[in-house]
A and B are shown apart, each in its own frame.
Chain A
Amino acid sequence: MSPLVLALLVGAGLFGIGLYGALSQTNLVMIMMGIELMLGGALVNLVTFWRYLHPDVYSGQMFVLIVMTAMAVEMAVGFAVGIARFRARGSVEMEEAVELNG
């Protein structure tokens, strides 16, 4: 099997596991963990494409840096929402957040 396909399979697996986690968990922090795994899968794919298809063009690595920024932003805003929710309701269980009104 080509190393390109091998690495893409890992990315696909991480994405699938992350999607399962993001949809199945009721806790905000666990949902964020699922999203992190999905973005991790995207990172693996981007580095794989850069390495095996165009290692001389650095747009691929640039794209990885942007996805890492998205991960950091997601964490910061997610935890801020968690703090606000915890202050308002004393819990970050998303089952209870049906109305999204604080």
Chain B
Amino acid sequence: MMASPGQTVALVIFGILALGFGTAVFRTKSMVRSALALLGSMAAVGGLFFALEAEFLGVLQLMMMATEMTIMAIFMVMFMMDPGGLGQMEMTHQKRASLTAGVVSGLIAIGLSTLSSWAAVVAAAPTPSAQLHDLGIELMSRSMLIFETAGLAILLAMIVATTIALKAEEKR
């Protein structure tokens, strides 16, 4: 069964935006522009989630990525000699091999997507409120261990990140 035409149009528009901004990330010499392009791409992915009727995940994606990209832009300005790309510095290597790897892996994924015989598409998704309710039940019942492990992983990452970033004399 096919999805509604509106949904297909939304998928196409957000898909083109995600891919367009994704390409722009590596086409500009300005790292701040790269961070903003990545923000655009991730926001378009959030839009895709809305088009796919996963509203909660869409909101989560938009909020998380806006925060992440802001932090990324701040780090760019702190660490880079030329965050604005005014000097037109070349910051790539092994371009041909990388391009080949990217194109080949993309083509393999496209081939698998188009040639696999997927099951029939389900026409209707649960309502947003039903999704939230059922996801909450899932998090607090069957997937609780996974959910708690994810929380522990974030805590560990914070401790590890702080330890790595400390100066040598501060560690003692």
Residues of A within 8 A of B (CB): 2-21, 23-27, 29-30, 32-34, 36-37, 40-41, 43-44, 47-48, 50-56, 58-59, 61-62, 64-66, 68-69, 71-73, 75-77, 79-84, 86-87, 91-93, 95
Contacts and interface: CB of A to CB of B under 8 A. Distances in A.
B158 A24 contact: no
A18 B165 contact: no
Q: Which secondary structure dominates chain B's binding surface?
A: helix
Contact of B22 (A14, A54, A77, A93): A14
B64 to A, nearest CB: 6
A41 B91 CA distance: 24
Nearest to A53: B119
A23 B97 contact: yes
Given A27-B31, A36-B38, A65-B150, 19 more contacts: A7-B11, A9-B15, A17-B25, A17-B106, A20-B26, A20-B102, A21-B102, A24-B92, A24-B94, A25-B91, A33-B35, A37-B38, A52-B3, A55-B53, A58-B137, A64-B57, A75-B68, A79-B165, A80-B162
A14 B131 CA distance: 26
Contact of A14 (B19, B52, B154): B19
Interface in B82-116: 91-95, 97-99, 101-103, 105-107, 109-110, 113-114
Given A72-B154, A75-B68, A20 B118 contact: no
Given A48-B52, A53-B122, A17 B95 contact: no
Given A5-B113, A7-B15, A53-B118, A21 B157 contact: no
Interface residues of B, number: 85
